[in-house]
Amino acid sequence: MTATRDIVTGAALVALGILMIWIASGFPQIGAMSYGPDLFPRIIASGLILSGLGILLEAARGIAPESEGPRLAALPILILLALVAAFAVLLPLLGFHVAAALALLVAVRIFGGGWTVAGAVAILGPLALHYIFYSVLRVPLPWGLLTPVAW
């Protein structure tokens, strides 16, 4: 049963990745930049395809993942999906920096990180991402609550 589930999961990830690349290929190019709005969807899609292929390979080789039981093993993933949905809802309200800090804090704690590490990631992560998007890629991020102190 686990091998069948892994084959279905792996195939679904590969199919989702291919679909994402196909959809992203229709995004318009902006200006004379060598990259456009399709860059990150293609990177994420490539990760999905590679993950799906890895799962398919392990299923074909008969390697079963270690499990704590179906319910306990799925709980962090379900919480992470809810966290992504909450981030999408809170982003326009709180702004990128606050929403990302909260999301990273919760994500690190869910996966076993201590409060010190979670706090450091929650503070440094949004700052690093802001630098990458704003300074390197020239993509503005919503400031939300921090609009009065935006630089």
Instruction: Look at residue 31 in the predicted model and tell me its pLDDT.
Output: 75
The residue among 108, 105, 100 whose CA lies nearest residue 131 is 100
How would residue 14 be classed by pLDDT, with cut points 50, 70 and 90? very high
Place of tokens 């093993």: 73
CA distance 107 to 117: 11
**pTM of model > 0.85:** no
| Neighbour count for residue 59 (Cβ, 10 Å) | 21
Task: State the DSSP code for 64.
Answer: P
Instruction: Look at residue 73 in the predicted model and tell me its pLDDT.
Output: 62
pLDDT at 2 over 90: no
Region 128-141: what's the mean pLDDT?
88
Q: Summarize pLDDT for 36-70 with one digit per residue, the tens.
A: 778 888 899 999 899 999 999 988 888 665 655 55
Task: State the DSSP code for 29.
Answer: P
Instruction: Look at residue 122 in the predicted model and tell me its pLDDT.
Output: 97
Instruction: Look at residue 137 in the predicted model and tell me its pLDDT.
Output: 81
Is 1:39 a contact under the CB 8 Å cutoff? Answer: no
